[in-house]
């Protein structure tokens, strides 16, 4: 999954480690389109991305990683460009 791979690469470039990372996505679907009721411009109006990991990163480094992930994760870029709001929840436990 793109958020996992790209955040790991960003972290590596910053000398930070992530361990036991999991990424969960929950999507809100506007079912009108799949139910053939009407065309829907943004079928997934909102997603919640939850990242859980252990890390030696400082809170400031986590914020930098989150910011860069938004720019470099190809899947996230495409989904945002389609009009979907992505909410991120990062649960980071210190190592």
Count of structural domains within the chain: 1
Give the model confidence (pLDDT) of 36-63 as tens digits.
Answer: 999 999 999 999 999 999 999 999 999 9
Residue 19 near residue 54, CB atoms below 8 Å: yes
Contacts of 35 (CB under 8 A, 6+ apart): none
Q: Using CA atoms, how far apart are residues 72 and 60, in angstroms rounded to an integer?
A: 18
Tell me the residue range of the domain where 83 lies.
2-94
Structure tokens at 51: 């990242």
Percentage with pLDDT > 90 across the chain = 96
Q: What is the CATH number of the domain that holds 85?
A: 3.30.300.20
pLDDT for res 1: 64
Look at residues 6, 11, 4 and name the one whose alpha carbon lies nearest to residue 56: 11
């Amino acid at each position: 999954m793109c958020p996992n791979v790209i955040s790991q690469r960003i972290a590596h470039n910053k000398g930070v480690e992530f361990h036991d990372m999991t990424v969960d996505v929950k999507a809100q679907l506007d079912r009108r389109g799949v139910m053939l009721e009407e065309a829907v411009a943004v079928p997934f109006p909102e997603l919640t991305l939850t990242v859980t990991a252990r890390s030696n990163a400082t809170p400031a480094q986590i914020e930098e990683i989150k910011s860069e992930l938004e720019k470099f994760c190809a899947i996230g870029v495409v989904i945002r460009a389609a009009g979907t709001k992505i909410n991120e929840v990062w649960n980071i436990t210190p190592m």
